[in-house]
Amino acid sequence: MNQARGIDHITLCVENLDAAEFLFTEILGFEVIWSARDVGSDKSSMDTVVVQRGTAKVALMQGRDKVMKSQISEFIEKYGQGVQHFALEVDDIDAVSREWEAHGVKFSGPVKEGRDGFGPLKQRFTYSLFPGSGIFIELTQRQHGDEQAKTFVRSTVESLYKDIERDQASGIEQTIIDYDSFLIPMEKKPLKRAS
Ligand SMILES: [Fe+2]
Protein backbone atom coordinates (compact mmCIF):
# COMPACT_ATOMS: atom_id res chain seq x y z
CA MET A 1 0.00 0.00 0.00
CA ASN A 2 1.20 3.50 -0.76
CA GLN A 3 1.62 5.43 2.41
CA ALA A 4 0.83 9.08 2.92
CA ARG A 5 3.60 11.44 3.95
CA GLY A 6 1.29 13.66 5.94
CA ILE A 7 -1.08 16.59 5.64
CA ASP A 8 0.29 18.98 3.03
CA HIS A 9 -2.02 21.88 3.84
CA ILE A 10 -5.49 22.82 5.00
CA THR A 11 -7.67 25.31 3.15
CA LEU A 12 -10.16 27.59 4.89
CA CYS A 13 -12.96 29.61 3.29
CA VAL A 14 -13.21 33.00 4.96
CA GLU A 15 -15.46 36.05 4.65
CA ASN A 16 -12.76 38.60 5.27
CA LEU A 17 -9.30 37.70 3.96
CA ASP A 18 -7.57 40.68 5.57
CA ALA A 19 -9.00 39.79 8.96
CA ALA A 20 -8.06 36.11 8.53
CA GLU A 21 -4.53 37.07 7.46
CA PHE A 22 -4.24 39.33 10.50
CA LEU A 23 -5.43 36.50 12.76
CA PHE A 24 -2.93 34.01 11.40
CA THR A 25 0.08 36.33 11.14
CA GLU A 26 -0.27 38.81 14.01
CA ILE A 27 -2.00 36.57 16.54
CA LEU A 28 -1.13 32.98 15.66
CA GLY A 29 2.46 33.49 14.52
CA PHE A 30 2.25 32.32 10.91
CA GLU A 31 4.08 33.93 7.99
CA VAL A 32 2.64 34.74 4.57
CA ILE A 33 4.38 32.54 1.95
CA TRP A 34 2.20 33.12 -1.11
CA SER A 35 -0.78 35.20 -2.16
CA ALA A 36 -2.79 35.85 -5.29
CA ARG A 37 -5.71 38.06 -6.26
CA ASP A 38 -8.54 37.27 -8.64
CA VAL A 39 -7.74 33.59 -9.25
CA GLY A 40 -10.45 31.84 -11.23
CA SER A 41 -12.45 32.83 -14.25
CA ASP A 42 -14.36 35.82 -15.59
CA LYS A 43 -17.53 34.42 -13.99
CA SER A 44 -16.21 34.33 -10.45
CA SER A 45 -12.91 34.11 -8.67
CA MET A 46 -11.16 34.30 -5.34
CA ASP A 47 -8.34 35.93 -3.46
CA THR A 48 -5.98 33.71 -1.52
CA VAL A 49 -3.25 34.05 1.08
CA VAL A 50 -1.16 31.05 2.14
CA VAL A 51 0.40 31.16 5.59
CA GLN A 52 2.93 28.86 7.18
CA ARG A 53 4.30 28.20 10.64
CA GLY A 54 7.06 25.60 10.71
CA THR A 55 5.83 22.91 8.35
CA ALA A 56 2.15 23.74 8.92
CA LYS A 57 0.53 25.42 5.93
CA VAL A 58 -2.92 26.98 5.79
CA ALA A 59 -4.50 28.47 2.67
CA LEU A 60 -7.06 31.22 3.29
CA MET A 61 -9.59 31.91 0.54
CA GLN A 62 -12.14 34.64 0.04
CA GLY A 63 -14.57 34.65 -2.89
CA ARG A 64 -15.08 37.36 -5.50
CA ASP A 65 -18.58 37.28 -6.94
CA LYS A 66 -18.90 38.37 -10.58
CA VAL A 67 -21.48 37.04 -13.07
CA MET A 68 -22.03 34.11 -10.74
CA LYS A 69 -21.52 33.66 -7.06
CA SER A 70 -18.03 32.52 -6.14
CA GLN A 71 -17.75 28.91 -5.00
CA ILE A 72 -16.12 30.25 -1.83
CA SER A 73 -19.09 32.52 -1.10
CA GLU A 74 -21.43 29.64 -1.85
CA PHE A 75 -19.48 27.33 0.46
CA ILE A 76 -19.71 29.87 3.30
CA GLU A 77 -23.42 30.42 2.65
CA LYS A 78 -24.08 26.67 2.91
CA TYR A 79 -21.64 25.55 5.57
CA GLY A 80 -20.25 28.67 7.25
CA GLN A 81 -16.63 29.78 7.37
CA GLY A 82 -14.12 27.01 7.92
CA VAL A 83 -12.26 24.08 6.42
CA GLN A 84 -12.98 23.49 2.71
CA HIS A 85 -10.41 20.76 2.13
CA PHE A 86 -7.28 19.21 3.50
CA ALA A 87 -4.45 17.96 1.31
CA LEU A 88 -2.87 14.60 1.88
CA GLU A 89 0.61 14.27 0.45
CA VAL A 90 1.39 10.90 -1.14
CA ASP A 91 4.39 9.55 -3.04
CA ASP A 92 2.40 8.12 -5.94
CA ILE A 93 -0.82 9.96 -6.69
CA ASP A 94 -1.75 7.63 -9.58
CA ALA A 95 -1.41 4.54 -7.40
CA VAL A 96 -3.46 6.05 -4.57
CA SER A 97 -6.08 7.25 -7.10
CA ARG A 98 -6.39 3.70 -8.43
CA GLU A 99 -6.59 2.26 -4.92
CA TRP A 100 -9.30 4.71 -3.88
CA GLU A 101 -11.25 4.36 -7.13
CA ALA A 102 -11.25 0.59 -6.64
CA HIS A 103 -12.93 1.34 -3.29
CA GLY A 104 -15.57 3.52 -4.95
CA VAL A 105 -14.04 6.94 -4.36
CA LYS A 106 -15.16 9.66 -6.77
CA PHE A 107 -12.96 12.57 -7.80
CA SER A 108 -14.16 15.92 -9.16
CA GLY A 109 -11.65 15.75 -12.02
CA PRO A 110 -8.50 14.00 -13.27
CA VAL A 111 -4.99 14.30 -11.84
CA LYS A 112 -3.75 17.77 -12.63
CA GLU A 113 -0.14 18.42 -13.39
CA GLY A 114 1.15 21.85 -12.62
CA ARG A 115 4.61 23.25 -12.63
CA ASP A 116 6.23 25.83 -10.47
CA GLY A 117 9.72 27.26 -10.33
CA PHE A 118 11.13 24.07 -8.85
CA GLY A 119 9.43 21.29 -10.76
CA PRO A 120 6.21 19.40 -11.38
CA LEU A 121 3.36 19.06 -8.93
CA LYS A 122 0.37 16.74 -9.16
CA GLN A 123 -3.01 17.24 -7.49
CA ARG A 124 -6.39 15.56 -7.48
CA PHE A 125 -9.59 16.43 -5.61
CA THR A 126 -12.36 14.20 -4.29
CA TYR A 127 -16.00 15.12 -3.94
CA SER A 128 -17.41 15.98 -0.49
CA LEU A 129 -16.65 13.58 2.34
CA PHE A 130 -20.17 13.59 3.75
CA PRO A 131 -23.65 14.36 2.41
CA GLY A 132 -24.56 17.95 3.26
CA SER A 133 -20.95 18.85 4.07
CA GLY A 134 -18.60 20.75 1.80
CA ILE A 135 -15.30 19.36 3.05
CA PHE A 136 -13.29 17.29 0.57
CA ILE A 137 -9.78 15.82 0.25
CA GLU A 138 -7.00 16.84 -2.09
CA LEU A 139 -4.27 14.36 -2.98
CA THR A 140 -0.90 16.00 -3.57
CA GLN A 141 2.30 14.57 -4.97
CA ARG A 142 5.41 16.70 -4.80
CA GLN A 143 8.97 16.38 -5.88
CA HIS A 144 11.37 16.41 -2.99
CA GLY A 145 14.77 17.45 -4.19
CA ASP A 146 17.42 19.89 -3.06
CA GLU A 147 15.01 22.71 -3.52
CA GLN A 148 11.58 22.32 -2.04
CA ALA A 149 8.69 22.83 -4.41
CA LYS A 150 6.53 25.84 -3.71
CA THR A 151 3.19 24.75 -2.39
CA PHE A 152 0.78 26.78 -4.44
CA VAL A 153 0.65 27.29 -8.13
CA ARG A 154 -1.80 29.63 -9.75
CA SER A 155 -2.62 27.35 -12.69
CA THR A 156 -3.58 24.41 -10.46
CA VAL A 157 -5.63 26.63 -8.18
CA GLU A 158 -7.44 27.91 -11.27
CA SER A 159 -8.10 24.43 -12.67
CA LEU A 160 -9.60 23.26 -9.36
CA TYR A 161 -11.66 26.39 -9.33
CA LYS A 162 -13.07 25.61 -12.78
CA ASP A 163 -13.96 22.03 -11.82
CA ILE A 164 -15.95 23.25 -8.84
CA GLU A 165 -17.53 26.05 -10.88
CA ARG A 166 -18.67 23.43 -13.45
CA ASP A 167 -20.31 21.30 -10.74
CA GLN A 168 -21.78 24.39 -9.11
CA ALA A 169 -23.37 25.42 -12.44
CA SER A 170 -24.83 21.93 -12.93
CA GLY A 171 -26.34 22.02 -9.45
CA ILE A 172 -25.06 18.51 -8.76
CA GLU A 173 -24.01 17.86 -5.22
CA GLN A 174 -21.71 14.87 -5.21
CA THR A 175 -20.11 12.93 -2.43
CA ILE A 176 -16.82 11.04 -2.28
CA ILE A 177 -18.63 7.69 -2.36
CA ASP A 178 -22.12 6.70 -3.36
CA TYR A 179 -23.45 6.33 0.17
CA ASP A 180 -26.56 4.47 -0.98
CA SER A 181 -24.52 1.67 -2.50
CA PHE A 182 -22.47 0.96 0.61
CA LEU A 183 -23.66 -0.90 3.63
CA ILE A 184 -22.32 1.43 6.27
CA PRO A 185 -22.86 0.69 9.94
CA MET A 186 -24.76 3.73 11.19
CA GLU A 187 -25.71 2.71 14.71
CA LYS A 188 -23.91 4.50 17.49
CA LYS A 189 -21.52 2.40 19.48
CA PRO A 190 -20.71 3.23 23.08
CA LEU A 191 -17.38 4.96 23.35
CA LYS A 192 -14.70 2.99 25.08
CA ARG A 193 -13.31 4.61 28.15
CA ALA A 194 -9.59 5.20 28.06
CA SER A 195 -7.93 3.20 30.80
FE1 LIG B 1 -5.39 22.69 -1.72
Kindly report the pTM of this predicted structure: 0.83
Ligand 1 is an ion; residues with CB less than 5 A from it: 11, 87, 138
pLDDT tens digits for 54-102?
989 999 999 998 888 898 999 999 999 999 999 999 999 999 999 999 9
**CA 54 to ligand 1 center in whole angstroms:** 18
| Ordered domains of the chain (ranges, CATH) | 4-181 (3.10.180.10)
DSSP annotation string for 118-158: TEEEEEEEB-BSSTT---EEEEEEE-BSSSBPPS--HHHHH
Residue 20 pLDDT > 60, yes or no? yes
Q: 159 Cβ partners below 8 Å, 6+ apart?
A: 109, 112, 114
